[in-house]
Amino acid sequence: MDLRQLRYFVAVARERNYTRAAEVLHIAQPALSRQIQLLEDELGVVLLLRSSRPVQLTGSGRLFYEQALQVLGRVEQMVEATRRVGLNRNRVLSIGFVASTLYGGLPLLVRKLREHAPDLDIRLLEMLSIQQIAALKEGRIDIGFGRLPHSDPNVAGTVLRKERLVAALPPGNPLAHGAEPVALAELAGQTLIVYPKEPRPSYADFVFGLFTGAAIRPGEVQEVREIQTALGLVAAEAGLCIIPSSARQMRSDVHYRPISDPGALSPVILSHRMGDSSDQLKLVRALIRDMYAENPAWLGQDSVIGPEDEGPAGP
């Protein structure tokens, strides 16, 4: 077994099609099929069901795919790190983040990182919570800041804080008066705008779960791709949206009221590869603790700190 065979297998598993995978890899399809067959012969198990359209992974294939992603991701990291040392370049810390964290502590954290580690090359990549898990395993990011719990055993999660959710309401909505908390039950029958539309599961499913758990049915539901679009539609009187409290900074032309239901909290989760003991991760954790101890204005009264949970970040 060699790295080339792993790359070939990952390409087929992603594309679910031998022809497309061969085109991506720039090799002939028979040669690709032969290498996958040799890989299966060496392992003694079937990885791919070729008779199905699209090609499907077997149970062994799914496990091997997850492990292959990690191996290839680590190899890419090793190559990049070696090159950077050889070329006397800075170290790299790639951070994945969901857009709403830009209105909380992420900007301050990045500034503190640059102060404490000026030789660190910090790269910020916007991606959804579910995308961060794959990116961590593939080595495309080193840490992620997301909002959805996960159960992947290869990724550890720390709940940094739980942030109160708020209803973003059109100015003309009857509920857009006063600043006192509003119950989810009061939103029944209202047009609900959720994000992101895809991929799923996502924050949209989290919001749906709140309504379902409270036995409340919204009226019409409109799904959009980004929080910015959702709030723009709220401003246009198209409906209401449920967002984390810190994201209220995004627009001043809509009205915000906290959700009073006890479960209306959105976690901010720091994710990283299981077993990561790097100095960069230790620095990130220390700076976050210092930030929270300072009780910054953006933290406000709408956040519950911790608990810091190691391991998969939920069911």
Which domains are present in the chain?
3-81 (1.10.10.10), 91-306 (3.40.190.290)
- Angle, vertex CA 247, rays to CA 184 and CA 166, nearest 5: 15
- Angle, vertex CA 27, rays to CA 26 and CA 28, nearest 5: 135
- Mean pLDDT within 68-79: 84
pLDDT of residue 194: 95
Tokens representing residue 110 in the block: 């990045």
The predicted-structure confidence for 130-143, as pLDDT tens digits, reads as follows 999 999 998 889 99
Residue 90: helix, strand or coil by DSSP?
Answer: coil
pLDDT of residue 11: 93
Separation CA 138–CA 132 (nearest Å): 10
- Angle, vertex CA 173, rays to CA 169 and CA 178, nearest 5: 70
The predicted-structure confidence for 153-164, as pLDDT tens digits, reads as follows 999 999 998 989
Percent of the chain whose predicted confidence (pLDDT) is above 70: 91
- 315 falls in which pLDDT band (50, 70, 90)? very low
